[in-house]
Structure 1
Amino acid sequence: MAGKLPENFLRFKGTHPEIYAAFEELGRTLHESGPLSERERRLVKLGIAVGLGTEGGVHSAVRFANAGGCSREDIAHVVRLAITTIGWPRALAAMSWVEDLVGEEK
Structure 2
Amino acid sequence: MSASLPGAAGDLATEHPDVWKAYAALGKACAEAGTMTERERRLVKLALAIGAGSEGAVHSHSRRARAQGIDEAALVQVALLAIGPLGLPRAVAAKTWIEDEDAKR
TM superposition score category, shorter chain reference: 0.7 to 0.9
Give deviations 1:43-75, integer Å, cap 9, x for gaps. 000000011111101000111211223111110
Could you say which residue in structure 2 is the equivalent of 1:42? 42
Could you state the TM-score of these two structures normalised by the residue count of structure 1? 0.86
Q: CA deviation at 1:104?
A: 4.3
Separation in 1, partners of 2:102, 2:84: 24
Q: CA deviation at 1:26?
A: 1.1
Could you state the TM-score of these two structures normalised by the residue count of structure 2? 0.86
> Amino acid of the residue matched to residue 92 of structure 1?
V
Separation in 1, partners of 2:49, 2:61: 7
User: Percent same amino acid at aligned positions?
Assistant: 40
> Amino acid of the residue matched to residue 51 of structure 2?
G
User: Root-mean-square deviation (CA), in Å?
Assistant: 1.8
Matched ranges for 1:3-22 at <5 A = 5-6=6-7, 8-22=8-22
Runs of 4+ in structure 1 off by over 4 angstroms are: none
> Amino acid of the residue matched to residue 10 of structure 1?
G
Q: CA deviation at 1:10?
A: 3.1
Does 1 or 2 have the higher relative contact order (CA < 8 Å, sep 6+)? Answer: 1
Could you say which residue in structure 1 is the equivalent of 2:95? 95
Aligned residue-pair number: 102
Q: CA deviation at 1:29?
A: 1.7
Could you say which residue in structure 1 is the equivalent of 2:51? 51
Structure 1: stretches of 5+ with no match in the other structure: none
Q: CA deviation at 1:41?
A: 0.5
- Larger helix proportion, structure 1 or 2? 2
Q: CA deviation at 1:19?
A: 0.9
Could you say which residue in structure 2 is the equivalent of 1:26? 26
The reply on whether 1:75 has 2:66 as its aligned counterpart is no
